[in-house]
């Protein structure tokens, strides 16, 4: 299985400041025929199901605020929240869907400083 | 509206069985591959199984292979997860989720809790 490792495990950022979460895969999730990275980011709040934020590493899901952005390729990826809002407090997960055995990172807990 | 509504969770003894259901509405269920994902207390999200839109292909996590069976009834817009030989480590919130055309999970059920305990 492809192992997904996120860093840091937890993060405290002041309101209005930038938050950056990293995700590394144990093998490339870039599918060469279409040059797409099969990497998604999800936001998970207590008592709610996960919410899709980003797919193909950098494409924002419809309705997701533009302060959320994704970048990276092959094995190294980043989720950036440009200006943290109170409602962004959550656990964030990266996910690879390159292989039929889908795997998630361990999650990064984002809090307000 | 677009939604997935889950049911069937509960408390069950080790070694027993349970079947989860996931009713879809607001989108063309028969054209969508569907997944189950679970989250044990204090653990990361864990993918469990996927079934193709027409039911022709199914894949499972190693942790549930041979014990869990994913199925669907497109005439009823419903996804199922049959869980047999349940173990304590299967205790988790179980989510059904739709795979979007790009491959990510864009619609999720509200989750149903399964507790395996004697």
Segments of B28-100 assigned E as strands: 34-39, 45-51, 58-60, 68-73, 78-83, 92-99
- Judged by a CB distance cut-off of 8 A, whether residue B45 touches chain A is yes
Q: Tell me the pLDDT band of B105, cut-offs 50, 70 and 90.
A: very high
- Judged by a CB distance cut-off of 8 A, whether residue B104 touches chain A is yes
Interface size A-B, in CB pairs within 8 Å, comes to 61
Q: Residue B6's pLDDT is what? A: 97
Encode chain A (113 residues) as per-residue pLDDT tens digits: 999 999 999 999 999 999 999 999 999 999 999 999 999 999 999 999 999 999 999 999 999 999 999 999 999 999 999 999 999 999 999 999 999 999 999 999 999 99
Residues whose CB falls within 8 Å of the CB of residue B63, separated by 6 or more in sequence, listed in order: B46, B89
Q: Do B104 and A105 touch (CB under 8 A)?
A: no
Q: Do A52 and B105 touch (CB under 8 A)?
A: yes
């Amino acid at each position: 299985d492809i192992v997904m490792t996120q860093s840091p495990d937890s993060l405290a950022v002041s309101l209005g400041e930038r938050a950056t979460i990293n995700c590394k895969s144990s093998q490339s999730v870039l599918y060469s025929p279409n040059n797409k990275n099969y990497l998604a980011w999800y936001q998970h709040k207590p008592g709610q199901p996960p919410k899709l934020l980003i797919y193909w590493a950098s494409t924002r899901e419809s309705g997701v605020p533009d302060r959320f952005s994704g970048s990276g390729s092959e094995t190294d990826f980043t989720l950036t929240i440009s200006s943290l809002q109170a409602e962004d407090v959550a656990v964030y997960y990266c996910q690879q869907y390159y292989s039929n055995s889908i795997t998630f990172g361990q999650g990064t807990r984002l809090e307000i400083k | 509206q677009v939604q997935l509504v889950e049911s069937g969770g509960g408390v069950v003894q080790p070694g027993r069985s349970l079947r989860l259901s996931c009713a879809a509405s607001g989108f063309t269920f028969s054209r969508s591959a569907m997944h189950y994902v679970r989250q044990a207390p204090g653990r990361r999200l864990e993918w469990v199984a996927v079934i193709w839109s027409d039911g022709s292909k199914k894949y499972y996590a190693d942790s549930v292979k041979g014990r869990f069976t994913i199925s669907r009834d497109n005439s009823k817009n419903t996804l199922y997860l049959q869980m047999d030989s349940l173990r304590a480590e299967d205790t988790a919130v179980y989510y059904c989720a739709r795979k979007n055309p790009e491959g990510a999970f864009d619609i999720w059920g509200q989750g149903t809790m399964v507790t395996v305990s004697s």
